[in-house]
């Protein structure tokens, strides 16, 4: 997919449970991660919440990731909507699902998302008496991080700036910015509210989020290298579990951040970003990698060349 400043390099797909044949089609189309949230692992509640319709079959929904992997997709993303049922049941279900995928398919989840019930036009969190306090929510994030250390953890703009900032310190590794949850939302200049799937609590622009992340001491990374280098599934997992992946993540983060700074950032964010990059480059332990990363960053700054990666 082409954009004036380069190509969209990875498209993750979040669609309802489907057949092995359809997952094969998605794989052939070159998708990145296939994401499907369980909503609730509690079968009784699940069936009450889906009395009819295509999602009614609990087993079909719950076994979707197995079919996706049988169809050749080796990066899958799990998630449960905390707040529908008791958190302890959901927490155990989520970890058992991760354990099952690793044991049966040989690869655990690529990502775990942690949505919780929040306000939307047609959802009143007060009618769900299982809603989580911020403190409990953060404890769950920390426990998932400890239990599944190799997995990317995602927090969305459903959560506000404060909770997102705290969650980043507890194990969240991926964070969205400037999300729109309404149909066709990205084509509108202003955020349309009428068809939103849920309330977006963090309404900052992407530039504001990137700037804030750097002020918090993080390196915003737009890296998609693993998927494009074929480091997916069990190959990715072994690099992740041994910690060797950091040798790629760190320089790739600095190079993709440079692309963002050059092509999209405000002046303020660009100035801060280059300070961060200068300091972080010094921390790359391997001399050769450090030199190549520095050279590539100069190419990005001074030419149209993009898409360097380790
Ligand atoms: S190199 Fe690191 S940041 Fe880049 S895609 Fe792989 S795991 Fe993600």
pLDDT in the model for residue 120 = 62
* 90 Cα to the center of ligand 1, angstroms: 28
pLDDT in the model for residue 219 = 97
pLDDT in the model for residue 235 = 87
Instruction: Name 155's bridge partners.
Output: 175
Counting residues of the chain whose pLDDT is more than 70, the rounded percentage is 91
* Cβ pair 2, 46 in contact under 8 A: no
Among 110, 111, 174, 225, residue to substitute to test ligand 1 (most atoms within 8 Å of Cβ): 225
Examine the pLDDT at 36 and tell me if it is beyond 80. yes
Examine the pLDDT at 262 and tell me if it is beyond 60. yes
188 phi, psi to nearest 5 deg = -95, 145
Among 109, 173, 223, 240, residue to substitute to test ligand 1 (most atoms within 8 Å of Cβ): 223
Q: For the segment 164-208, what is each residue's pLDDT rounded down to a tens digit?
A: 999 999 999 999 887 776 777 777 766 655 556 556 778 899 999
The number of the ligand 1 atom at minimal distance from the alpha carbon of 253 is: 3
Examine the pLDDT at 22 and tell me if it is beyond 90. yes
Average of pLDDT values for 224-245?
90
Q: Which residue has the higher pLDDT, 233 or 149?
A: 149
Supply 165's token pair.
Answer: 């900032």
Supply 242's token pair.
Answer: 């041994």
Average of pLDDT values for 281-307?
96
Q: For the segment 71-107, what is each residue's pLDDT rounded down to a tens digit?
A: 999 999 999 999 889 999 999 999 999 999 999 999 9
- Please name the residue whose Cα sits nearest to atom 1 of ligand 1: 249
pLDDT in the model for residue 252 = 98
Average of pLDDT values for 231-241?
88
Among 242, 245, 246, 308, residue to substitute to test ligand 1 (most atoms within 8 Å of Cβ): 245
Instruction: Give the number of residues written for the chain.
Output: 310
Residues within 6 Å of ligand 1 by CB: 221, 223-226, 245, 248-249, 252
- Please name the residue whose Cα sits nearest to atom 2 of ligand 1: 249
Between strands 34-35 and 76-79, the pairing is parallel
pLDDT-derived band at 291, boundaries 50, 70, 90 = very high
pLDDT in the model for residue 296 = 98
Q: Which residue has the higher pLDDT, 162 or 1?
A: 162
DSSP, residue by residue, 101-165: IIIIIS---SEEE--B---BTTB-GGG-TTPPPHHHHHHHHHHHHHHSTTSEEEE-TTS-HHHHH
pLDDT in the model for residue 195 = 57
Helix (H) / strand (E) element for 175: namely strand 174-175
Q: Which residue has the higher pLDDT, 232 or 293?
A: 293
pLDDT in the model for residue 237 = 87
- Burial of residue 64 (number of CB atoms within 10 Å: 0-12, 13-18, 19+): buried
* 138 Cα to the center of ligand 1, angstroms: 24
Counting residues of the chain whose pLDDT is more than 90, the rounded percentage is 75
Q: Which region among 3-12, 160-169, 207-216 has the lowest average model confidence (pLDDT)?
A: 3-12
Q: For the segment 121-170, what is each residue's pLDDT rounded down to a tens digit?
A: 666 666 767 888 899 999 999 999 999 999 999 998 889 999 999 999 99
What distances in angstroms separate CA 291 from CA 30, 258, 261, 295, one per listed residue?
32, 15, 20, 6
- Please name the residue whose Cα sits nearest to atom 6 of ligand 1: 226
pLDDT-derived band at 233, boundaries 50, 70, 90 = confident
How far apart CA 283 and CA 253 sit, in angstroms, is: 13
Between strands 152-155 and 13-14, the pairing is unpaired
Domains of the chain listed by start with CATH number: 2-204 (3.20.20.70), 230-310 (no CATH)
Examine the pLDDT at 272 and tell me if it is beyond 70. yes
Residue whose entry in the numeric block shows the structure tokens 């004036």: 4
Examine the pLDDT at 226 and tell me if it is beyond 90. yes
Nearest to 235 by CA among 248, 245, 246: 245
pLDDT in the model for residue 121 = 64
């Amino acid at each position: 997919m082409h954009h004036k400043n380069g190509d969209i390099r990875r498209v993750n797909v979040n669609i309802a449970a489907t057949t092995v044949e359809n997952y094969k089609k998605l794989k052939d189309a070159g998708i990145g991660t296939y994401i499907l949230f369980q909503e609730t692992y509690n079968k009784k509640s699940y069936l009450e919440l889906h009395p009819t319709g295509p999602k009614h079959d609990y087993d079909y929904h719950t076994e979707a990731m197995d079919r996706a992997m049988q169809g050749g997709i080796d990066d899958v993303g799990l998630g449960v909507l905390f707040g529908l049922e008791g958190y302890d049941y959901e927490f155990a279900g989520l970890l058992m699902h991760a354990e099952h995928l690793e044991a049966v398919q040989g690869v655990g989840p690529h990502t775990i998302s942690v949505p919780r019930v929040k306000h939307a036009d047609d959802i009143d969190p007060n009618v769900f008496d299982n809603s989580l306090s911020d403190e409990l929510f953060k404890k769950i994030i920390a426990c998932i991080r400890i239990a599944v250390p190799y997995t990317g953890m995602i927090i969305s703009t459903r959560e506000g700036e404060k909770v997102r900032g705290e969650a980043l310190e507890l194990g969240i590794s991926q964070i969205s910015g400037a999300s729109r949850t309404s149909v066709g939302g990205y084509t509108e200049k202003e955020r349309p509210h009428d068809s939103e799937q849920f309330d977006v609590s963090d309404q900052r622009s992407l530039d504001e989020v990137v700037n804030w992340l750097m002020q918090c001491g993080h390196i915003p990374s737009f890296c998609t290298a693993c998927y494009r280098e074929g480091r997916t599934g069990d190959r990715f997992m072994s690099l992740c579990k041994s910690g060797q992946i950091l040798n790629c993540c760190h320089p790739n983060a600095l190079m993709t951040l440079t692309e963002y700074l050059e092509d999209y950032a405000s002046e303020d964010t660009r100035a801060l970003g280059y300070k961060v990059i200068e300091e972080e480059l010094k921390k790359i332990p391997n001399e050769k990698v450090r030199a190549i990363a520095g050279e590539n960053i100069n190419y990005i700054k001074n030419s149209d060349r993009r898409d360097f990666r380790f």
